Amino acid sequence: MKNLIAPHGSSTLNPLFIEDSIQRESLISSSNDMKKLLLNSAAAANVVMLGAGYFTPLSGFMDKKNAISVANDMLTTDGLFWPIPIINLTKDSSNIKIGDEVALLDPNMDGNPVMATQQVSAIEKFSDDEIKDMAEKIFGTIDTEHPGVANFLSLGNTLVSGDIKVLNFSYFPNEFPGTFATAPEIREMLIKAGWSKAVAFQTRNPMHRAHEELCKMALERLEADGVLIHMTLGKLKKGDIPGDIRNSAIAKMVEIYFPENTVIISGFGFDMLYAGPREALLHAVFRQNCGCSHLIVGRDHAGVGDYYGPFEAQEAFELDVVKNSLKLQIFSADHTAFSKKLNKVVMMRDAKDHSKDDFVLLSGTKVREMLSNGQELPPEFARKEVAEILMKYYQSI
């Protein structure tokens, strides 16, 4: 069997979670005497991703020089390709100083337990203009109607950098048992399945027929061994469907409609940034760390509203800095939809003789409305068994 693709920027994964339980308990115990820093949700999500090896080869939070270098050029000061700054911004660092080992507290769990410890190597200030400039580079806009921008501008102007040791994965293992997994665990799953060519499919939504067929197209056209359906389990925007409901719907679809041993369903503990092209590149970095050889990048990947061009995310992979850095390749996709003419799901760009009316297309708003009212979705749009799970959810809220 061929080997899996190598991790990004390293020959081995670098998960920052302390595996040794004695060492971990000792650190948790000594954290009682450390100075405390309550994280925001964005920094807490970075801790989870660093702990789980998804952000290999990083060893902690970036300093100001690296954050600006990554925002501007997608390279760290050492020349490592990285598309989005991995930072710990705070509004108040008055109780900590350089050289301290501080306990990082989880904002997303009752009682704010310690998530990690951080060796503080620098405490630096950003001006409002520097923060805005960074936001514009990451998101392509500073419009505060953009949920990612609004959140980023609310995090604070003080940067606390330094290496971390991760002590737990927050609420993810308990809320998503059997779904949340680390990068080493996913690599292990791929090896166990005997896959060397694996395609990652990123989703923050339940999967309708179009998504299902897109995964099958990628499997077939790439002659891949299987698909990793990899869900965002962190904080979403208002109106997005909760992770457990998505999980049930996707599991049901895979169980009934995919050949055996061609799909692994998993999830990762990160908040959606809605950063379009930059986020697509970050998705590629950590899918390579999972051992995937390909990532499906569709129309408006990781976008929101009309902030990005439909294929801007795909175009980002054509940049020299990306091509020279990533081993993972993308499977470029267009919108997929059921063709009434051909009686099957197709990529819309492949159906040149079709008009919009030749496809079964429903907006997210229309889907939610139908499900809330107990109306069945057209079978060309959604599998009955999947729609039933979603209908039950919408009728309960």
Within-domain flag for 7: no
Final residue of a structural domain among 116, 148, 170: 170
Instruction: Report pLDDT for 205.
Output: 84
Domain assignment present for residue 5? The answer is: no
Q: Point out the catalytic residue in the list 205, 209, 221, 247.
A: 205
Q: Is residue 14 part of a domain?
A: no
Residue 206: closest CA among 256, 244, 259? 244
We report the CATH number of the domain holding residue 106 as 3.10.400.10
Residues 227 and 316 in one domain: yes
- Residue 311, domain CATH: 3.40.50.620
Residues 6+ apart with CB under 8 A from 191: 4, 291
Whether residue 12 lies inside any domain: the answer is no
Domain boundary among 109, 143, 170: 170
204 is catalytic: yes
Tally of domains within the chain: 2
8: in domain: no
CA-to-CA distance for 164 and 60, rounded, in angstroms?
5
Q: In this structure, are strands 226-232 and 198-203 parallel, antiparallel, or unpaired?
A: parallel
pLDDT score, position 4? 95
In this structure, the answer to whether residues 151 and 221 fall within a common structural domain is: no
Start-end of H helices in the chain = 21-30, 41-51, 64-73, 128-139, 147-153, 172-175, 183-193, 209-222, 243-257, 277-290, 312-316, 320-323, 364-372, 384-396
SS3 annotation, 282-334: HHHHHHHHHCCCEEEECCCCCCCCCCCCCCHHHHHCCCHHHHCCCCCEEEECC
Tokens of 94: 């008055």
383 classed as catalytic? no
Residues of the chain short of pLDDT 50, as ranges, are: none
Q: How far apart are CA 8 and CA 56, in angstroms?
A: 6
Cβ neighbours of 177 (radius 10 Å): 8
Looking at the fold, whether 146 and 254 belong to one and the same domain comes out as: no
Residues 204, 278, 349, 373: which is the catalytic one?
A: 204
Same domain, yes or no: 106 and 203: no
Q: Does residue 250 form part of some domain?
A: yes
Q: Is residue 2 part of a domain?
A: no
The answer to the question of residue 10 being in a domain is no
Co-location of 190 and 134 in the same domain: no
CB 232 within 8 A of CB 203: yes
Give tens-digit pLDDT for 279-324: 999 999 999 999 999 999 998 999 999 999 999 999 999 999 999 9
Digit-coded pLDDT (tens) for 73-88: 999 999 999 999 999 9
Tokens coding 288? 């390579």
Domain end, chosen from 170, 196, 231, is at 170
Range of the domain at 108: 21-170
% of the chain beyond a pLDDT of 70 = 98
Note the pLDDT of residue 374: 92
Amino acid identity, position 210: A
pTM of the full predicted structure? 0.95
